[in-house]
Structure formats: C-alpha cells, structure tokens
Structure 1
Amino acid sequence: MMEESSTVDSEHASVVHSDAPSRLRASSQGKRLFGLLIDIVLIILILNTLDSLFRQENWDLKQQARSWLDLTWFYGGAMLFLVFRDLSQNGSPGKRMLGMCLRKIENLNEIVPKDRLFKRNLSLFILPWEAWEIFRDPYGRRLGDRLAGTVVIDNPDAMRPMRRLLLSNLLFFGFFIIALGLQQPNMRKTSAFQVSYEVVKQDSRYLELRAAGFELEEPELHLDFRGDAEDSRVRFRVNQDEEVQIFEVVLALVEKPSPHWELKGLEFQTLKQEEED
C-alpha cells in the first residue's frame, strides 16, 4: 500500500496533498501504526515490570494455578494504559518518539482537550479494527479521530530525530536494566530454588567447601511446567582456583494434592576450569 505525504490546511480544516513546507503535514499511515505499536510494546514492558516487581514467594507454584480471572488485571491494565496514553496533551510516548502530535481538526493550532482525548481512545477497545482504519483512511484518521474531531500531524516543534532516538534507546535500555536487576531476587523467591537450596546446604560436600571459605554462586533454573514434563533442574556452582564443583538438584512438579516440587535426586560433579569454559 502506497503512503502519501499530505499537508493539513488549518483554515479550512481539510487535508491537501502538497509539498509546501509552510503547512502542517498529516502523519502517514505507516508512521501512525508504528507509533501505536511502540505504545503497545511500552505498555507490555510496564506491566511485566510491575508483575516482576511485586512477585510473591513461591510464585512458580502459584503461576500454575492461575485462571483467566487472574489475568484480568493484566489485560485490563493494558486497555487502561491505551485509553489514557494521550492525556498528556502532547501525545502518547509512541507519537513523541516519532515526532507526531494531536490537534483539533477544526483548528490545528489548538491542543486537544482531555475530554476529547479520552473519547478518542475509547474506540481502542476494538483495537484490530482501529489499526485497519488507519490504513483505510487516506490521512490515517481512525474511528476515534473522527468521533473526537482530532488529527495526528507531524509536530513542527518536535525534538531533533537524533535526540528522540537517544531518549527512546535510554527508555528501552532502562527496562532492560530493571529486568536484569529483578531476575535474581525473583529466582530466589521460587519454591524450586528454596527446595533445592535446602538440599544442597545440607550436603556434606558443600559443608566441606563452605568450611574452606567457598560459597555458592547464583543458581541456574531449568524448570518444566508441562503436563508431560521432563525433570526440572536447579544448578549451583562453587568456583575454586582450578576446579568447578557443580551441584545439580533434580526436581519433579507434582500437582496433587497441591502443587509442589518433589526431590528426585542430587547430582554432583567436578570439572576443570577449562572444561567448564
């Protein structure tokens, strides 16, 4: 589908095909859709970060018993973010990253009031159809734009592209750093880790290593939650100067009478550092 560049005549509230730099340019369909995708990705990142931040003890077992009602907050939160994402009046994060903004169709110099922004995004509850509407309309106006009397234009006062790109990368990199920071604390909250750690710390071989001043490094979890699951494994390492001691706890997920991890064995091996590498 060909995308057409267009400009908006603010005096007559119409969109006219032109290359005149003095007029405001309506954002293309592809740019509009890309901005919407950025917003959706950000919403998923925010909700996943909140979910990781507030995970409780034994969350790996509770996750198995989750019903569709337990996911209501996630999907409900996603829709709320979509509905309220433009209420800053300068547009959603996706629009800002791509240098777009929202304006009244009758006066392109006026910022859209919040009540019309809210009305505009209510139609996102039919999201697949709204995405299709962006391509159906020659100027990328979806149903919400027509109901609220708004149009998305290229912001003449937007930050320079390189600055927008830098800020966008910093934002996504921030989510990546947060995810890395929460990984180990959340791993230690799992029932699988707690069961395995209790087994290893009572093993005589580990007690000897601990007496010599060595400690367990961060664990590796390989958990299988499928119905016909294979054995799950939790691996601990103790690094010495020339050797690596590996404790591998073998677990099986038991669903009844209540979900729990059942110990199937403890495997131990010693490797040379070059073999581990």
Structure 2
Amino acid sequence: MQDRLTGSRFFLVTILNVVITVFELVGGLLSGSLSLLSDAFHNLGDACSVVLSFVANRIGCRQQTASKTYGYRRIEILTALLNAGVLIVISLALVVEAIWRLLHPEPIKGDIMLVVAVVSFAANLVSTLLLNHGAQHNLNIRATYLHLMSDALASLGVILGAVLITIWQIGWVDPLITILVAIYISYESLPIVRQTFSILMEAAPKLDYDGIVRDLCQIPGVDGVHHLHAWLIDEHNLVFSVHVNMDDRRLSEIEPIYRQIEQVLSEKYGVCHVTIQAECHRGENEDLFYQQNDWH
C-alpha cells in the first residue's frame, strides 16, 4: 500500500514538473526573464530527478542475491548523490549566466513574468507537499524533495522580482534573484553530497565507541574487544563487525554470549546486522580499530 502511494505521488510530481517546465520556458522566452528560464531548466532537472528517485526506490526494495548480499539499498544513495550534484552544477551555471545578465541587461516584461511565476509557485508547492512525508525518512526522496522545495523558493523570488520590475522597472533584480536562489540551492545540496559520499566511502557512523566497549565488556564471558568495524549500507541500515576475547569455550556456550552482544548493539546503538569473531588471546593487546598494516 505504501509503495503504491509513493508511486502515485512520484507520478503526479513528475507530471506537474513537466507541465511547469513547458509553461516556464514559454513564459521566460516571451518575457525575457532569466530567472524564469533558469527555473524552467531547474524544473526539467527535477522531473528527471523524480523519475530517477522513483526507479531507485523500487530497485532498493529488491531482496538480497548471491551477487548483492547486502541488497540494492546503495542505489538510492547513488541517486541522491547524483541529484544533489546536478543541483550544484545547475546552480553554478545559473550564477555565471546571471552575472552576464547583470553586465549586459536586457528588457523584461514583468506582467508575463508575474503570471507565470505565480502559477509555477502553486504547482511547485503542491509537488513539495506530496513528497514531504517521505523526505523525513529517506535520503533519496529528501534529495528530490529539496529539488522541489528550491523550485518553490525560486518561484517566490521570481514573483518578487516580477513585482519590482512591473512597478519600478528594476531589471537587475531578475539576475540578482537568480544568484540568491542558486546560492540557497547549493547550500541545501552540499550536506546531502557530504552524507552520501561518506556512506559510499563506508565511513564509520557517529557512535559512542568507548561506550560500546564498556557495554560489551560488561557482558559475562567477554574479556576484551578489538578490530571493530562499523559502516552504513544506507542512511538507516548500520552494519557492524567486531572481534571479542573470551575464555576457551564450546560453541554452544558462546552462542548465548553472541545473542547478548547482538541485543546490546541492536537496542542501544541501532545496529541491524553484526558479525562477531570469538578469540582467546589473539589480538587482545591490539587496537580497537583495525590498522591497515595488520591486514593479511
């Protein structure tokens, strides 16, 4: 049911963005407004972004296979990185064009610009509201949501510019608004780029590692912890591996200790999958984090 709901919302948002793109392209050409034309290309990018996000969301729900033992969740991270990266590139291109317009001003028809901007803002607002809930729980959808929210903000800026141009004939406000919107888009996109790049590089998530060591060493039978690894499959699924020192025991005696370790890591630290290697004395004096010169 949730998948069908998400799919229908993605479809509606895509249709809205295609309509907005055509509407703003025509309006931008008729009015001579750079901010309208830039917003049109931005909306075209959003339509592509929505389609990519939907496809990635569907692929990410596939089950694990022999060749993809962790599943397909990373496809959503890749898509989020692509979407955010494209936004930054678009923003840079808009700034360059806006600076050119400031140096070489052109006449703008504020009345046409205003009508198109108001209609675009309404459509962008509807699109943003459709994806608002999913953006709170999914990095991929949040990247698309930011695309749409930045469009709504851009439309507000265009409306303001159209009013100023219509009443006071202040033509330079059009490229100025374009620059401000581009800066905002980049500001909102950079955290997504950093987070997705960090996940793809298998950077360790922010955890209380000293607390983890204390908690595990308080479990009866655990004498030490070393060679710890933690990484994210996506923004929700945290994977963990650790070596623990124990007395020489039978496997049937070790399994209950494993279950306690798994319970602590799951309930207190949000680990969804843990791999544990039991050792007697091997590595007991080694560092908590695996050093590269120890690899075999």
TM-score (norm 1): 0.29
Bigger helix fraction? 2
Larger radius of gyration between Structure 1 and Structure 2: 1
Bigger strand fraction? 1
TM-score (norm 2): 0.28
